[in-house]
Copies of this chain bind each other. A is one copy, B any other.
Amino acid sequence: MSGNTFGKLFSVTTFGESHGPAIGCVIDGCPPGLALSEADIQPELDRRKPGTSRHVTQRQEADQVKILSGVYEGVTTGTPIALLIENTDQRSKDYGNIVEMFRPGHADYTYWHKYGVRDPRGGGRSSARLTAPVVGAGAIAKKWLREKYGTEFMGCMSQLGDIPVPFEDFRHVHDNPFFAATSDADLIARMETAMDELRRAGDSIGARIDVVAKNVPVGLGQPIYDKLDADIAYAMMGINAVKGVEIGAGFHSVAQKGAEHGDELTPEGFVGNNAGGVLGGISTGQDITVSIAIKPTSSIRTPRRSIDKQGNPVTVETFGRHDPCVGIRATPIAEAMLALVLIDHALMNRAQCGDVHVDTPRLR
């Protein structure tokens, strides 16, 4: 409960620093009887891992996951599942020059004031590298949800800086380095050019990511506080660099009228999905739709003003290997977080309302 555990019933406790010997997590509450091996987890980690294109950090990490516990003869036993990922490509000297000062937009200043001690190597615990164990845990959640309810997760980049990326089909996200759901080669080329320019300029850019869960059971979520959308917002805003979260119509709902926003119901299904799949904090059975804003990477080569530990003015330039757009690798992370929220609520729901049955048809 000290902040490094996500979820109440499917609880993921992470540990590790960017340049320590290893990172990982302990998953407590995975139901027994799920067939599971590293092969179920590794593909998700590979989607997130660094070094897959010239547009992301060039740090070389295999991000090879090992299961240390909780699985016996290929099946989960109901006991904690520990995942371990060794760090192999640390180059801590890259960070030597920033120990005594605070990078703008970075956690340096806040960690220092909070803890009075700070692991500066690669951002320590504040590194986006710490999303790797989450993606591993999310892979397990996804598998369980898929087998139990047929739930599927998709995500894509819908905006790169000021370039909108119109949605075409999720199957295209694997065909380009940006998780863009488009087959428009010109658009992809424009994005590549923009990224190349940024990299040369030593600057960075933000992005918008959309994620969707399909085939979600109706009834997940609690009426107050632990609303499904509240927990989704918590999960998404907890991803490094996220500054905004929308469910369904999101900020568009401000200018909507009630007669436009409220999704009508017909025997054939809901007529729209302004709700984003959540009403009164509880899933409707429609797609859960979430959109997040990711700020530009803070670690940039451009010289910037700051102070040192004594409060004196300094100039900071950050070298080392960084993603010029952390949003690029954020899609699998956002999917994983959404899966973790859903499995937690699915387990909670069967605890409290597991045997409820109504004859009313379930809509999509």
Contact = CB atoms under 8 A, between A and B. Distances in A.
Interface string A265-301: 1110001001110111111110000000111111010
Interface string A179-215: 0000000000000000000100001111110000000
Contacts of A266: 305-307, 313
A340 to B, nearest CB: 10
Interface in A229-288: 229-238, 242-267, 271, 274-276, 278-285
A263 B15 CA distance: 29
Contacts of A75: 117
Contacts of A2: 8-11, 28-29, 222, 226, 348, 352
Interface residues of A, number: 163
Contacts of A293: 246, 250-254
A55 B68 CA distance: 30
A102 interface: yes
Interface stretch (A41-49, A167-175, A354-362): A354-362
A26 B26 contact: yes
A124 to B, nearest CB: 7
A244 B161 CA distance: 20
13 contacts: A2-B8, A13-B28, A14-B224, A17-B72, A77-B125, A104-B262, A104-B264, A203-B257, A205-B257, A230-B237, A232-B237, A244-B251, A266-B307
